[in-house]
Amino acid sequence: MQGSNVKNKNTANKVIAFILLIIPWITYLWINSYNKAEPPLFGLTFFYWYQTVWLAISAILFAVAAVLIYWSEKN
């Protein structure tokens, strides 16, 4: 029974990881949400700073996903 618990946990981890991985795609595909100049940040228009900030967010989401997927397997 313990074997199937481990397996379930791995599947759950992979589903969560998949969701985390897909979030940046949805963000960037939804171009109408960010293709505008307002509101600016330090004079930089929204279009540029929003997409740049999402690079940092993507890295965090991907790092969590990497742990979920690959730390349960043998290295």
Closer of 3 and 43 to other proteins (Cβ) = 43
| 21 forms part of the interface with other proteins (CB under 8 A) | yes
| Separation in Å, CA 75 to CA 57, 67, 69, 70 | 26, 12, 11, 8
| 26 forms part of the interface with other proteins (CB under 8 A) | no
The three-point CA angle 56-71-10 to 5° equals 105
Question: Can you give the binding site for other proteins, defined by CB under 8 A?
Answer: 21, 24-25, 28-29, 31-32, 35-37, 40, 42-48, 51-52, 54-56, 58-59, 62-63, 65-67, 69-71, 73, 75
